[in-house]
Chain A
Amino acid sequence: MNARWATLLILAAVIAVIPWFFPSGYYFRVAALVWVTALGAVGLQVLMGQAGQVSLGHAGFVGIGAYAMALGPKYLGLPVLACLPLGAVLAGLIAFLVGRPILRLKGHYLAVATLGFGILVALVLVSEIAITGGPDGIRIPRPEIFGWRPRGGEAWYWINGAALLIGVWLALNIQHSPSGRALAALHDSEVAARTIGIDVARHKLRAFVIAAVYGAVAGGLMAMMNGFVTPDAAGFLQSVEYVTMVVIGGLASVPGAVVGAAALVLLPQALTVFHEYEHAVLGLLIMLFMIFLRVGIVPGLATLLRRRPA
C-alpha cells in the first residue's frame, strides 16, 4: 500500500472514530470547522507547497465562494446547493483571469499582488451594501439535500469531513501526477523547469485556479454551515491565517495542511483558559513551532520519528 492511500485511510479513520469521544455537540461544530478550514488550506498547499507560489489573497476566493451562497439564491433564485459549484466555477474563472498577469510576478512581488487582490475582494464586499449587505454580513438560506435539511454541528461534521476526504484525495493525486511533478520542478527552479520543456506559466496558472476552487468550495460550505457570512471571511487576516496553516503543518505535505488547519482552529478554543494572555500565547506557540519544527509539523515529526524509532 502506498503512502497516498495510507494518508487517506488515516484521515478517514480519524473522521470516523473521533465522534465517539465527543462529549457534546460543540465538539462536532469545532471539528466540522477544522475539516472545512482544512479544505481551504489544502487548496493553498497545492499552490504554495507544490507550485511554490505564495498567495496572500487566498481568503478572497473563500469569500467569493461564501458570498455566492448568499447572492445566488437572493438574486438568481437558485437553490443554495446549486450555488456551491457556481461559486467554485466563478472563483476558478476569476483566478484564471487575474492569474495570468499576477503569476508573472515572483516571490514577494507575487505576495503583494495577491494581497491586493484579496483586499479588493473584501473592499467590494464591505462597500457594495445594497448587494452584499455590507460589513454586518448577509444571511444564507438553509440548504436542502433530497428533502433532508442539515442542521447543527453533527450533520455538517459528516458533510465537511466527506468534502475534505475528496479534497485531500484530489490534492494527493495532483501531487503524484505528471502535472504535479512539473509543479515540483518549477517549485525548485523555474528556469530549469522551462529548460526541460515545461510550460511554466500554464502549470502555475492551473495551480492558482485549483487553489481558488478549493477556497471557494470551503467558503461555500462554511457559509452554509453558519447560515451567515460577513466580509471578514475574505479579509487579509484570514489570508494570513491560511498561509500560516500551510507553513506550520508542513509546506510540502498535503496532510500537513490538514494538521496546520487543525492547529489554528483548535488553538484559539483551547487557549481561552488563558483569558487575556490568549493572543500572547498563540503568537508564542506559532514562533516555537516554526523554530523547532522549521519544515512544519508533519514532515518535522516524521523526521524525528525516523531518527528515534520508539
Chain B
Amino acid sequence: MSLGMILRRGVIAAGAFLLAAPALAQRAPEPIRIGAVLSVTGPASFLGDPEDKTLRLYVNRINQAGGVNGRPLQLIIYDDAGDANRARTFATRLVEDDRVVAMVGGTTTGTTLAMRPVFEDARIPFISLAGGIEIIDPVQPFTFKTPHTDRMACEKIFADIRARGLTRVGMISGTDGFGQSMRGQCVRVAGAAGITIVAEESYGPRDSDMTPQLTRLRNAQGIEAVVNPGFGQGPAIVTRGYHQLGIRLPLYQSHGVASREFINLATPAAAEGVRLPAAALLIAEQLPTSDPQHQVVLDYKAAFEREFNQPVSTFGGHAYDGLMILVEAMRRANSTDGTRLRDAIRATRGFVGTGGIVNMSATDHMGLDLSAFRMVEIRNGDWALLGN
C-alpha cells in the first residue's frame, strides 16, 4: 500500500467519523458512571464477591430495560483486596479520573472509613455496604449505608436470649473488622439488654481450629449461651467445633453468616439449632405473600441463583439495595448532580429492599429499624423463621 493510499483512506475514515459523530451522540446518550470499590479478593471476599456479582448483574438488567432517565449506566468496579490504603487510591481514581456521579461500595467498615473523606470532599453520594455504625453515626452529608448495623444484630440476639430466660453469655469473636466491631457493640448494649458477658474468646480470621477457645468457654462459670460475632468461614469452624465438643448451650451466630453456604460449610448436623438474626432474603420462600418484601426478595434470589449457580447471601442483597436506592433517587431527581442526588437519596421513603423497608432522613442515613431483622433457626439443614 502506498503512502498516498494510506493517507487517503485515513482522510475518508476521519471524514466519515466526523459526519457520524453527532448522529452517534444523539443515538447513544452519554452513560451515567457509577463507581464501586469492593473487597472482591482478600479476607473479606466472602462479602465482596457476591456484591461484585450483584452489581454487574443488575446494571446489565437495568441497561437492557432502557437505562435510567434515558441514559445507560456504566459500572466501574475496582478490587481493593480489603486494604484501606488501596481502597483510598481507587476512590480517588473514581472521583478524579473516572468522574463517577455516585459510589455504591465499600465492603468493610475499614475501607469505607478510609474512602469516606474522598467522596465527602468531592460532594458525591457514597452508599456503603459495610456494617459499622460509625459510618453513619454521626451523619456525614454524603455518606449512606444499606446493611443493618451490628448494634441492631446484638440487640436482636440479646432480646432472643432474654426471651429464653437466659442472661449469662459467652462471646467468641473473629479478630477481623466485622467481628471486632460487632463485639464492641454487643459489649456496649449488653447492660441495657440485661445481659452479662461472663467470658470472651477470639480467633484469627484465618484460624483453622477453635476447639481450644471453645473448651475454655465451655468451662466458664455459669455460662448460659454463646454468641459468635464474625463472618466468612470462621463461624462455620466455630460451629463445627461446638458440635465436636458436644456443647449443649444455645449458639447464636451473627448476620455475617447469612447465606446457605454457612450451613453447607458448618455441616447441617453441627448447625442444627443455631440461631441468628437475618434479613428477609434468607427465608424468601417462607415469607407470607402478604409480606411487603415477599416479591422483592424472591425476584432477587431467583435472578442471582440462576445467573451464578450459587446460594444468595444477604451481602449481595445489600449491594442490590444500594444500587436500587441510587437508581430510584436518580429517577426522582432526574439529575446526576451530587447534591441533588444526595437530597433524593435522603428522601427515600418506603423503599422495599432485600434488607428491609428503608426510610431515610436527614438524621438517618440508613433508614432501617429492628423489624428489618428476623430471627431464624437452622433446622434440618434449612432456615426456619421463628415467631416474632
The interface of chain A, by Cβ under 8 A from chain B, is 23-27, 29-30, 33, 126-127, 129, 134-137, 139, 151-153, 222, 226-230, 232-233, 268-269, 272, 276, 278-279
Contacts and interface: CB of A to CB of B under 8 A. Distances in A.
Interface of B: 40-41, 78-79, 82-86, 88-89, 92-93, 95-97, 108-110, 113-114, 117, 121, 132, 134, 175-177, 180-181, 184, 202
- Which 6 residue pairs across A and B have the least CB separation, nearest first? A26-B96, A26-B97, A25-B96, A135-B177, A230-B84, A136-B110
Contacts of B97: 23-24, 26-27
B89 A30 contact: yes
Contacts of A278: 79
7 contacts: A29-B92, A33-B85, A135-B180, A137-B113, A226-B85, A272-B79, A278-B79
Contacts of A227: 117
B85 A222 contact: yes
A134 B175 CA distance: 8
A139 B82 CA distance: 17
A279 B184 CA distance: 34
B175 A127 contact: yes
B83 A232 contact: yes
Contacts, number: 85
B181 A136 contact: yes
A56 to B, nearest CB: 18
A288 B108 CA distance: 34
Contact of B82 (A228, A229, A232, A272): A232
Contacts of B84: 137, 226, 228-230, 232-233
A222 B86 CA distance: 12
Contact of B180 (A129, A152, A272): A129
Nearest to B79: A278
B85 A272 contact: no
A9 to B, nearest CB: 29
Given A29-B93, A134-B177, A226-B85, 7 more contacts: A134-B184, A136-B132, A136-B180, A153-B92, A153-B96, A228-B117, A230-B177
A272 B78 contact: yes
A230 B87 CA distance: 12
Contact of A228 (B40, B88, B89, B121): B88
B89 A136 contact: no
A135 B181 CA distance: 8
Contact of A269 (B83, B89, B110, B181): B89
A233 B175 contact: no
A76 to B, nearest CB: 23
Nearest to B94: A26
A226 B175 CA distance: 23
Interface centre among B110, B113, B117, B132 (most CB of A within 10 A): B110
B123 to A, nearest CB: 14
Interface centre among A33, A226, A272, A276 (most CB of B within 10 A): A226
A227 B108 CA distance: 17
Contacts of A276: 40
A272 B132 CA distance: 28
A36 to B, nearest CB: 10
Contacts of A226: 84-85, 88, 114
Nearest to B41: A279
Nearest to B117: A227
Contacts of A232: 82-85, 110
B110 to A, nearest CB: 4
A272 B121 CA distance: 25
A33 B89 contact: yes
Contacts of A268: 86
A222 B114 CA distance: 12
B176 A135 contact: yes
A161 B160 CA distance: 57
Contacts of B96: 24-26, 29, 153
A135 B110 contact: yes
A279 B40 CA distance: 12
A236 to B, nearest CB: 11
